[in-house]
Structure 1
Amino acid sequence: MCTTYRPRLFSWRANSYKSTVVHKDDVKGRTLKATKFIPAGTFLNVDDPATSFYIDKNEWDLLDEFVKINPSAEFYSKLQNYINEYGYESSSTARVGRTVSVANVNTFINHGCSKEQFKVGALLKRTDENYVNFSPLTTRHSELLINSLVVLQDIEEGEEILQDYSEFWDDEKASEFDEFHKRVCGAN
């Protein structure tokens, strides 16, 4: 981890910025496309944790309860909808909750339906060996690493960027993901 990612994570040459654009799509709503060739192995629009909104699990549960009790509280209802629509459950070695980027276009990457379509993936995966073991790199930069994406396959100019959303789902929610996948991808 330290020898593979740390030197590249903070190098502008290993990161792909200003190489994507959000497109309006009649079916998907919004999607992210490449504006130029993006080689495999680079990081895609590394997200600064300072540009993300985080709400821990307890606060999320309180917000959920508040919206149910006070349906006329429009701001809180819209906040909850925004986080549900564009955010994701986030867990690191230090905290569990929900995160939504307020300034990163990676929010608009859609789910691909097959392995061949997955162009980007999470830098750290829960299934990685030693994921929960102590690591100075993950301790010091956990939010940056957990929320960053690495390009898995070359992405051509104009190509839609897709990823495997199952990376964000815990094993105990596998049935929910299966339902989501069937809804989005059909019987694949």
Structure 2
Amino acid sequence: MNRVAIFCGSKMGNDPAYAEATKELVKAIVKKGVEIVYGGGDVGLMGVVAETALENGGTITGVIPDKLYEMEVAHTGITKLYRVKDMHERKALMADLSDGFIALPGGVGTLEEMTEVMTWAQIGYHSKPCAFLNTKGYYDHFIAFFDHMEGEGFLYKSMHDQAIVEDDVGKLVGRLI
């Protein structure tokens, strides 16, 4: 794997454990020599991703829509920053640039980004791995919903099984990279 996309929150969350797990993950990715692609922001966990990558000698590429760039939330000190028209272009470019995907804690945008790339995998647009760093059980309810969708006949078991879910950074990196 040469590059991995990280989807995460533009907020920090209520527990410092989220930022700590983010730092640990980014350091592990950089140590493996893998480049990071992310949403291009300098706020919340996105800012933690960028700063940690830079502090550890990593290569980090951001992809940010014009509207967010104009709101001055872009990190302008990263390795490369792409400005795109909208969120659709952002997701498409991030997917094209990446060999796999990791969702950290975040809001509806993070969830939407990850479920879209998982949908693309289901349809056959790519076969790239999709992983969730389940810090403090953040994604437990989401994974339970996967179980429910499968049980109700709306999700293929293969799609459910495709999701890599780990609460331990080392295990996640070991399975993904």
Q: TM-score normalized by structure 2?
A: 0.25
The structure with more strand, counted as a fraction of residues: 1
The structure with more helix, counted as a fraction of residues: 2
Q: Which has the larger radius of gyration?
A: 1
Q: TM-score normalized by structure 1?
A: 0.24
